[in-house]
Structures are given as C-alpha cells and as structure tokens.
Amino acid sequence: MARVPYSDELNRVQRAGTLVTEKLEARRRRSPDFAAENEALHGLARALNASDTVMLQTLVDTALKLCNAGISLRERDASPPHTFRWVALAGHCTGLVGHPLQSDNSPAGVTLQLGSPQLFAFPKRQFDCLAPIPLEVTEELVVPVPGTPEPWGALWVMSHDEHLHFDSEHRRILTSLANFTCAALIIKQAKADAEARPEEAEATRNALAVVEAHQVDFIATLGHELRNPLGPIDSALAAAQKLAAGNPSVLSALALANRQVRQLKRLVSDLLDASRIRHGKLSVRPAYGLLGDIVKDAMAAVTDEVERRQQQLQVMLPAYPVTVFADAARLTPASGAGASHTKLWAVSAPGCRPRPPSVAA
C-alpha cells in the first residue's frame, strides 16, 4: 500500500507521545469471537446489495460492537488535496457525519503516512479536528483502508472509557473490516464508472456491429466472386472430357480437376453462408468414396509447393480400392495442409507400410 510522505505533524505527534501503537502487542489479547465475527460478515455481505450509504453505515455499526466507530474517506476532488471526510459514524459521534478533516492534522492522515494500523492516546489533545467530539477520547485505533494507487481512507474506533483499551485482537478485526471496505468501495467505483459511460459503451457496441456487418458483406462478396468463374470452368472440363474420349491419361487428369471443382463449389457455398461461419456451424456431409481419390486430390494441391522446395513426395497405397465414409471436401484440404507443412510425409492405408521419401539435394 502506498504511503503518504511524512510531515511535520507526524513528528510532532511522535514527540508528544500520542502514538502508542506498541502497546497493542504488550496488552493481553482477548479471545476471538468467531461466531459473532461470522455473523457480522454475513450482515456485511447482505449490505453490498444496498445503497452505498447503507453499506458504509453497516460497516461502522459492526465496528460499534467494539466501541464508537467511523470511516474517514479521502475527498477525491477536494482542494486542497488530501482532505478527509467522516462519511459514516456510529455511537457518540453520529451527529458529526460529513465533518471534514485535513490530512496533515488528523489521526487518519498520520496513519496513512505510516502505512499501518496505529493507536493514539488522548488524540483530542493533539488534533484540533477532533474538537467537535463531545466526550474525551482516551484511545483511538485507526486502520488504513487499502487502495490503488493510494489508500481510500481509514476506519477507526474510539474509546471514551479510560478502563477500556484496545489490543491486537481489535486491530485484527478492524483490519478485516478495512479490507472489506476496500472491496466494497472498488465495487462502488466500478458501478459509478459504468453508469458514467453508458454512451461510450453504446458507441463501442455500435462500432463493433458495423465492423461485424462489413466482415459479413466482404465474405459474401468474396463468395460470389469465387463462384462466378466456376460455371465456365465446369463447362470447359465437360467439353474436354468429350474431346479426350479414349485417352485414359487425359481423362484421369480431367477427373481430378472435376473433383477439385466440385469441392471448390462446396466450399464457396459454405462461404456464402456467412452467418453459419460466424457461429461455427459449417455442415459435414460424409459419403462413401475412394481413399485413393482423396489422396490424389490432396497431393495435386501441394505438388507445386513440393517442387518449389525441391523435395520428392511418395505416397504408398494398397493395390486394391479402399472405400472410406468421409466428407471429401473437408478431408482433402486437411490432408493437403498437413503435407505442405512437413518435409517428409507419407499416407498409410490398410495393408501398406509408409516409406520415407528421398529428398533431392
């Protein structure tokens, strides 16, 4: 937790003997009442759903079970800086809600300078800001409310009875309440920030919607541009097949091209359905086909890349046809992608053994 720079006021209080924090450890520590503490924490948790005023008041009411209690919070927009204000009080100090304090002349300010819980003896005699309190204050225990980049303020309890002294157990409970106060104030600040920027949030959502719409339009346009040339290509392949009748090698190459065109039509069809792409709902259409055809199509897609790398790619298939039940349009690009990203690759079919290909120098 960040500390406030030391001031002359701190030195004055130390010289006067008002700071008696070391007595917390020297005194006999009372036994913890975990049942009461658990009940109090449940009450604080329920108070988080209430207004900020009710929530802070519940905190000091819980501390009141120790003695008179209050919360001093920094005035974030105050001038001069580091001004505190009592925002919630209980006990004899209830009527002083809203009382301002200067940090360089208050127990809360001294505590934040030291960055740890502090015990003050007869603090009214050293701090003029405590003069409005109607009774004498024999002791005051002050605990910082942590925050980032600086503490939120301080939670404190006072004793008006010279026979009632604070000990380390009081410090432990008050520290726990201060940490709870920190969490509650962070939630409060987050809510305030969210409510203060509704227009900014709405503008961001609208901008994202526009970008998303442009993406969908671009995908649809790209799909149409890809689909337009497919018709003439399909017709040209059909004409070439008629002209190549009786030439098995040419017909085999044209059959491969036909399968590639059918797969491209399928992928373009999926591309046009932009809403399904956005939601990851592309369909899979398995059908019976030959593994050899799928492998040949995949190899054809990566042949240029293999040659560019000056590699040799060998595929070993069984002598008999192997039928598979798969979506060829999905499996072929996946197989080809795997081949293009490896230096050595072999496809293994039932009854055959993969053999590493030789690599040209």
- pLDDT(45) > 60: yes
Tens of pLDDT along 111-154? 888 889 999 999 888 888 888 888 888 899 999 988 878 888 88
Residue 239's pLDDT band (cuts 50, 70, 90): confident
What does pLDDT average to over the chain? 74
CA angle 329, 334, 336 (to 5 degrees): 100
Rounded CA gap, 348 and 205, in Å?
50
Domain residue spans in the chain?
8-196, 207-282, 284-361
Q: If you average pLDDT over residues 241-255, what whole number do you get?
A: 85
Identify the weakest region by mean pLDDT among 44-58, 63-77, 312-326. 63-77
Identify the weakest region by mean pLDDT among 67-71, 171-175, 332-336. 67-71
Q: Which two tokens stand for residue 110?
A: 């001294």
Amino acid 330: pLDDT: 65
- pLDDT(277) > 60: no
Higher-confidence position of 306 and 207: 207
- pLDDT(357) > 50: no
- pLDDT(344) > 50: no
Q: How many other C-beta atoms lie within 10 A of the C-beta of residue 272?
A: 17
Amino acid 352: pLDDT: 37
- pLDDT(101) > 50: yes
Rounded CA gap, 55 and 44, in Å?
7
Give the right CATH number for 8-196 from 3.30.450.40, 3.40.718.10, 3.30.950.10, 3.40.50.150: 3.30.450.40
Amino acid 333: pLDDT: 61
- pLDDT(201) > 80: no
Helices (DSSP H) in 51-153: which residue ranges? 52-64, 107-114
**Please, what sign has the CA dihedral across residues 132, 135, 136, 141?**
negative
Tens of pLDDT along 57-76? 777 777 666 444 555 665 55
